[in-house]
Structure 1
Amino acid sequence: MIAGIPRPLNGRVVAVAGATGAAGHATVRSLAAAGATVACAGTDPRRLDALLDATRRAVPGATVVGQVLDLLDPQAAHDWSDHVEAEHGSVDGLVHLVGGWRGSKKFTDIQLSDWDFLHDQLVRTLQHTTLGFHDALLRSPNARVAVVSAAGAAKPTAGNAAYAGAKAAAEAWTLALADSFRSVSAAAEQPQHAAAVILVIKALVTQQMREAKPNAKFAGFTDVADLAQTITDLWNRPAAELNGQHLWLTPR
């Protein structure tokens, strides 16, 4: 407790990839307010500094650090995991918020360069971070991995093929990670303590977006604050219950 505020994640260390966007700001702030040490990665040093400053202002006493990284480099992802564990003693969570969107009006208008971009952003960075952090997460007594997907992955539209395909690939990769967590626990004949989950949204909305378009309904959108709270609450649920689950934050 600090000033009467519960801090349920005291002692936890959570890495957030793609931390400098709107979802990242909300998630880092929520995790820090819950007491976690938050290790943030981004590609733009100015945006990363802005995130750290904003979090420290919003959460006095927050332990939040940043590292400029290119997560398309697999060695950089492995080194990041090693650094976080060595610096803070453990890695108890990995939140993947690296995003991006490309689309077209018609299927035949799709540019395969869009697929290349989305594959790198949504899939390759996930592969590198989960491979890099896998063993460190298994050393934690209570680890969580959260990946954000889209409802369109299960029901792609014609012009959204590249984006939906990349999200579907990211989901499959995350389910394989969940199976690894499950298999390692079973082989060791130990209770499962690591879980990988998929958070499904339609799209995200911020307070600034609502203020800019006060008459817009943003139907089915998920507020970044709600996404952040859902991520923070993952440590309150049993790993075996969460592992490999799709948590829908938008109507199915």
Structure 2
Amino acid sequence: MTNSLNGRTILLAGGTSAAGRAAARALLAAGAHVIVAAHDPEKLEVLAGNLPGLVTEVCDLTDESAVHGFAERVHATGGPVDGILHLVGGWRGGGGLAAQTEEDFRFLEGSLTALRHVSRAFDADVRASPAGREAIVSSTALVRPLAGGANYAAVKAASEAWTRALAHGFAKAARDAGEPLRAASVIFRVTTLDGLEDALADAYIGLFARDAESVNDSVIDLSS
């Protein structure tokens, strides 16, 4: 099954990192309409200046009302979103279990909060798309969590659980409507994203060339 990205709208949530730049560049080259939403206006300005055609939006993705306002603007000006790649992240850890602070956990928890807000705000869009694809970047650390990364692993585990719940929601909605599954929710795992930015972009784009049934609720390890 081949689903062209030409003309589809893809949202990169928190896409001002190197991985976001690589994904935006590849998606634009594939003909997609790309929106990057993040909280730092300066980083967004630099990104847009280097990628003609990119649309940027300043938005605190951890703020539910801000995300819903952003979704309303997208729907008013550009139509529904076909796909989302969640890239809000960060790392804090080390020092063993005793060194895992509440401040560090709350910082890391922002990625889960953003995932929850964004996925809910655009859930109907992705489910209604002829080829909806939603994905997160998780960590191979979940295979064997370490004391120094307890906060990080806990947040990633919760994010994976949320993403699998999205997959169930997509499947249930299609089943209840008596329609074929067209939306998929996927987990990408990496040991580190350093050096894998282009691989992540290619893997996400590749989801659109595969049948939703074959990738929904899947875990794809990009580090292997």
Q: TM-score, normalised by structure 1?
A: 0.85
How big is the shift at 1:8? 3.7
Cα displacement string for residues 140-197 of structure 1 (whole angstroms, at most 9, x for unaligned residues): 1111001000001231111100001100000000000110000000000100011110
How big is the shift at 1:235? 0.7
* 2:6 is the alignment partner of 1:10: yes
* 2:198 is the alignment partner of 1:202: no
Match of 2:67 in 1: 77
* 2:217 is the alignment partner of 1:249: no
Equivalent-residue separation in structure 1 for 2:60 and 2:197 (angstroms): 24
How big is the shift at 1:80? 2.0
How big is the shift at 1:230? 0.8
Match of 2:34 in 1: 38
Equivalent-residue separation in structure 2 for 1:85 and 1:40 (angstroms): 15
How big is the shift at 1:45? 0.8
Match of 2:206 in 1: 233
Query: Partner of 1:204: helix, strand, or coil?
Result: coil
Q: Structure 1: which 5+ residue stretches go unaligned?
A: 1-6, 57-62, 207-222
Match of 1:142 in 2: 131
Which structure ranks higher in relative contact order (CA pairs < 8 Å, sequence separation ≥ 6)? 2
How big is the shift at 1:112? 2.0
The within-5 A match list for 1:1-252 is 8-56=4-52, 63-120=53-110, 122-206=111-195, 223-251=196-224
Cα displacement string for residues 13-41 of structure 1 (whole angstroms, at most 9, x for unaligned residues): 00111111111000110110100000111
Q: Structure 2: which 5+ residue stretches go unaligned?
A: none
Identity %: 39
Equivalent-residue separation in structure 2 for 1:138 and 1:180 (angstroms): 9
Q: TM-score, normalised by structure 2?
A: 0.95
Equivalent-residue separation in structure 1 for 2:198 and 2:147 (angstroms): 31
Equivalent-residue separation in structure 1 for 2:206 and 2:71 (angstroms): 23
Equivalent-residue separation in structure 2 for 1:232 and 1:86 (angstroms): 26
**CA-atom RMSD, angstroms?**
1.3
Equivalent-residue separation in structure 1 for 2:150 and 2:66 (angstroms): 30
Q: Which amino acid aligns with 1:141?
A: P
- Further displaced range: 75-84 or 14-23: 75-84
